[in-house]
Structure 1
């Protein structure tokens, strides 16, 4: 039995989305942001004390991107998990790109909007907006060639990058200069599997 630990208000949301996409039976175990993450029983699953964590009948995984790629490879079918090694490489590429080129900057902007007013730094937030222009143009240029990241079909690469980009609407990031990427993101986030995932606790 698969168990996914974490709240949909964290990176666990992308793993819940992946589980919903593949349609496998699983148990969602909500975990709070406070003391639950430091309890010994949770640290045995994820010694880092972060969300999410996956228990697949005794196989334990942490790091949301690793969890998602594992879910897609083990339980997904084409096109979600493509059939060629070359396409697998593209899935890894875009998944890691989302983490290294986009996510940390989006989080920086998000925190500067959500923190108490006296702790916010408008200059840092604006610098983040400027910094994102380059990777967002890379994404937009690529998507002008195809409907999804790997072609005509939605794959785990789209899910992983869209899950990172899901912060953009929350911080009201202006994506009008990258309209193809904006439309792609809206299309991905509107998928029923994602809607079910974000509705969880």
Structure 2
């Protein structure tokens, strides 16, 4: 059985969503981020990304990580691409061309969107958006995301999904990265095709099921 290490309120959400889309049986192991604890190595600390037992699985000390038939994989995007190839179906590439496009869009989002989008979500999560430094962080990140959002918006003007005009692992990967920045009206108001595409993904039953499980974590 597929085992997913990581809480839903982390990048592991991508893998939990993917597993549900594929309909594969999985076990979730709620490893939390060490940064959320005052002392992650305390004897009574919950299982976290610096716990010795987790570091035996992923010495990087990051979530998510998966175990699948003896294979251990790190990195959420790589995990989803692997699961798509293994289980095939409509989320996977139907040709070498689609394989290339799926990987292109997935890693484009990692390289061009994620680092700036993460600054946005962390600023909001830490309630810093109304502080001078927080507002500056949001403004800079939003400015740096202007062009990537425009590129995505232009591509989605011609088709409903990123590859093959159907929902694939590329859409899931990119939507989960874009999600971090969707609070910023300067980006959403200027890119309606991105918003419509994002909402289509969030209407999917597998996403709704994952999001409900995420909400239950508290």
Query: CA–CA distance in 1 between the matches of 2:104 and 2:192?
Result: 22
* Candidates 90, 95, 99, aligned match of 2:110: 99
**Secondary structure of 1:24's match?**
coil
Partner of 1:15: 15
1:113–1:120 contact (8 Å) kept in structure 2? no
Closer, same or farther: CA 110–83 of 1 in aligned 2, 3 Å = same
User: What TM-score comes out, normalization by structure 2 length?
Assistant: 0.86
CA displacement at 1:123 relative to structure 2: 1.6
Query: CA–CA distance in 1 between the matches of 2:140 and 2:97?
Result: 36
CA displacement at 1:196 relative to structure 2: 1.2
TM alignment of 1:19-38, pairs within 5 A:
19-34=19-34, 35=40, 36-38=48-50
* Candidates 74, 77, 85, aligned match of 2:96: 85
User: What TM-score comes out, normalization by structure 1 length?
Assistant: 0.93
CA displacement at 1:116 relative to structure 2: 5.5
Provide the alpha-carbon RMSD of the alignment.
1.6
2:4–2:26 contact (8 Å) kept in structure 1? yes
Moved over 6 A (4+): none
TM alignment of 1:1-201, pairs within 5 A:
1-34=1-34, 35=40, 36-77=48-89, 79-115=90-126, 117=128, 120-169=133-182, 171-174=183-186, 175-200=188-213, 201=217
CA displacement at 1:114 relative to structure 2: 2.9
Query: CA–CA distance in 2 between the matches of 1:76 and 1:66?
Result: 15
CA displacement at 1:119 relative to structure 2: 8.4
Show structure 2 runs of 5+ residues with no match. 35-39, 41-47
